[in-house]
């Protein structure tokens, strides 16, 4: 599931660019559902960190995890770096 999320993320974030990119809305919707499910299952177990209140998507959780000084922070910063390639500043 996380691999599918990794592949769909670059397409899904283009929706926020507007204009003709709005045609990717169905992909964005599917990606959002996958993101929420993976955040509470596979990615929670993979990072051994469970979502806190308001962290519905993995990107929401990455914003908190990237400040950790342990191995979770290293993984989160790598994931944020990947996401920034496609949408700079998406994860604050």
The pLDDT tens digits of the residues spanning 44-64 come to: 998 898 999 988 888 888 889
Taking the model in full, what pTM does it have? 0.76
pLDDT-derived band at 19, boundaries 50, 70, 90? low
The tokens describing 23, both together, are 């045609």
The tokens describing 60, both together, are 């929401």
Cα 20 from Cα 55, distance rounded (Å): 30
């Amino acid at each position: 599931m996380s691999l599918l999320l990794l592949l769909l993320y670059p397409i899904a974030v283009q929706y926020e660019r507007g204009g003709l990119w709005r045609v990717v809305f169905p992909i964005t919707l599917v990606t959002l559902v996958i993101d929420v499910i993976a955040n509470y299952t596979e990615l929670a177990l993979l990072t051994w960190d469970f979502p806190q209140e308001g962290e519905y998507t993995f990107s929401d959780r990455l914003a908190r995890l990237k400040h950790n000084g342990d191995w979770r922070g290293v993984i989160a910063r790598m994931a944020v770096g990947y996401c920034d390639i496609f949408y700079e500043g998406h994860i604050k």
